[in-house]
Amino acid sequence: MTARNRQFVICTNNAGYEVSLEVRKLYQVVPDPAAEKSGQIRVIDESGEDYLYPPSLFVRVDLPAAVAEQVASVA
């Protein structure tokens, strides 16, 4: 996936997912059209694995391509 295609979100609410998500932390979104159709987003969480979450827990952010590439490389 190119830096231009990477999507990121910031967690704004971790109610019910306190172990998996940290509020105010940036997370990478994994494209999943089937999940989106069911009203979920797939996020790489604190476990390092990707799981489905309600999108209401996050705010999408647009990062410059160079920043997105650096963030993804340290994840």
Torsion sign over Cα 2, 48, 39, 14: negative
Compare 30 and 6 and report the one with higher pLDDT: 30
Compare 70 and 38 and report the one with higher pLDDT: 38
Instruction: Tell me the two tokens of residue 61.
Output: 């952010």
Average pLDDT over residues 49-53: 97
The tens digit of pLDDT for each residue in 5-25 reads 789 999 999 999 999 999 999
CATH architecture of 3-74: Roll (2.30)
Identify the pLDDT of residue 52: 98
| Global confidence as pTM | 0.86
User: Whole-number mean pLDDT of the chain?
Assistant: 92
Query: Is a pLDDT exceeding 70 seen at residue 61?
Result: yes
